[in-house]
Chain A
Amino acid sequence: MTTIARVELDQVPLLARPYFADGDPGPIVRSLAQVPELLTVALPFIGAALGPSAISFRAKEIVIVRTSALAGCRFCVQTHAVVALEAGLTSDEVAALQSCGPTDAAFHDPRERALLRWIDVVAGGGPVSDEERAAVLRSWSDHEVVELTAVVGATLMLNRYATALALPTAPEAVERLAQEGLL
């Protein structure tokens, strides 16, 4: 398979070095490091969007796994399915997110159900109706909807990036998913 080059660990450009301080940062960073000025802007944004924030770890991973599944991104689904388990989601919940199908059987909390409907609308493309916007705003505050929507957008960007460049999933992630029956 043709994949994109990832910088070797002894060839890390100067601006990218802080992101390699703890060892191999994974294929997204190692590929983006080829364009250091892009990396140094993109990573703080990705970190702010996908990392710890006012939105709970669990809700963020619901957004990331579901969005990635809808976008058909093998790398992001597999990588974040493992993170979602760490965030406390059950294997059944993760399987439902990955399926692209209905999620109500696995998710019972009304806020999470509203969130999932919102993700499906936003990540699905096309216009978003007033009713759909009103529905999510009944369960989530304005600033939360802003952030959750931005997380969907950031995830979609990474989905297309990882899919187009055929980034490989870490073997440990694949192994964990196999153990959980999530492959």
Chain B
Amino acid sequence: MSTETTDSVPAEAGPIARAVADGVLPGRVWMYANYHCNIQCTYCLTESGPKVTQRALSPETMLAVGEQARALGFTDLGVTGGETFLMPHMPDTLAALSANLPVVALTNGTLFSRRLLGKVEHLADCDVALQISLDRPDADVNDEMRAPDNFRKVTQAIPDLVERGITVRIATTVESIEDNELDRLCALHRDLGVPDSEHIIRPIVRRGRADTEELGVEAAASDLPSELTITDDGAFWGPFGPTVKDGVLDTDLLVTRTTLPLETPATALLGLIEGRPQGADSTLNIR
């Protein structure tokens, strides 16, 4: 880990900005916009589904997080859920957030009706990327872990979004994938208009519903990205922190209940990272 400071960081920069510039603290701040979802994936970290409570961040809170993140020296924002586009304010909130910092928003890609496509069109002019989950190149295998008709909806939404000039990233979450299957998946995303640089593959993390289903890899805090993650329940060590098991929020990766001012959880998280033993970084490729 480097201890040198980066030249581009002004001398008066605070400890968070310096830690981000030095690569000690990850630059992205995540927000859990909500916890409910229109589908119910087998490996969902948050046990999301249509019947769970929203536990939503208000748009005002999200914008305050975005503004304070920039002021503190963070470099990127991430918005996740739940299904983020169940929140009617999401298209406008993403645009407003991107006025502060670049944004990646996670979505299952199943809600992009003509009406919603119209509402997100303006994101093409914003620094916003939509990260859509697509796990398999075959509809039946893909839908088994996610939801009926998921593959069809997603493979329709992606080109619709790309056509409108919106940056789309594809996230593939799998226990394992054969080379041949991966080749076909990559051919598919290229066909849909998403380049290789916008495709990420990550393991299932054994937390939340994945733990109930005994899926994925066991991960300790040191295995998980330490990106500051803000939820309605508090601030967590990374977006894999605020998971839900048997309807109860996991607190093992809770950092603080205080979320705003953002400096409070950011400082606490930095303290935890700095207190981590040398060489404790993981190689599990969880992101």
Contact = CB atoms under 8 A, between A and B. Distances in A.
Interface stretch (B102-110, B172-180, B256-264): B256-264
Contacts of A10: 252
B253 A37 contact: no
B257 A14 contact: no
Contact of B257 (A7, A11, A12, A37): A37
A37 B234 CA distance: 11
Contacts of B121: none
Nearest to B265: A37
Interface in A31-64: 34-38
A34 B251 contact: yes
Most buried by B among A7, A11, A14: A14
A35 to B, nearest CB: 5
Contacts of A7: 251
A13 B235 CA distance: 11
B96 interface: no
Contact of A14 (B254, B258, B264): B254
A10 B253 CA distance: 11
Interface residues of A, number: 12
A13 B258 contact: no
Interface in B211-258: 221, 237, 250-258
A36 B256 CA distance: 6
Interface residues of B, number: 14
A13 B264 contact: no
- SS class, residues of chain B in contact with chain A: mixed
B251 A11 contact: yes
B239 to A, nearest CB: 15
B251 A37 contact: no
Nearest to A38: B257
B284 interface: no
A15 interface: yes
B116 interface: no
A13 B234 CA distance: 11
Contacts of B252: 10-14
Nearest to A13: B254
A11 B256 CA distance: 14
A44 to B, nearest CB: 14
Given A34-B257, A35-B257, A15 B251 contact: no
Contacts of B99: none
Interface of B: 221, 237, 250-258, 264, 268, 272
6 contacts: A11-B252, A13-B255, A14-B252, A14-B255, A15-B256, A37-B258
List 7 tightest A-B contacts by C-beta distance, closest first: A13-B254, A37-B256, A11-B251, A35-B257, A11-B252, A13-B251, A14-B272
Given A14-B253, A36-B257, 20 more contacts: A10-B252, A11-B252, A12-B251, A12-B252, A13-B255, A14-B221, A14-B237, A14-B252, A14-B255, A15-B255, A15-B256, A15-B268, A15-B272, A34-B251, A36-B254, A36-B256, A36-B268, A37-B258, A37-B264, A38-B257
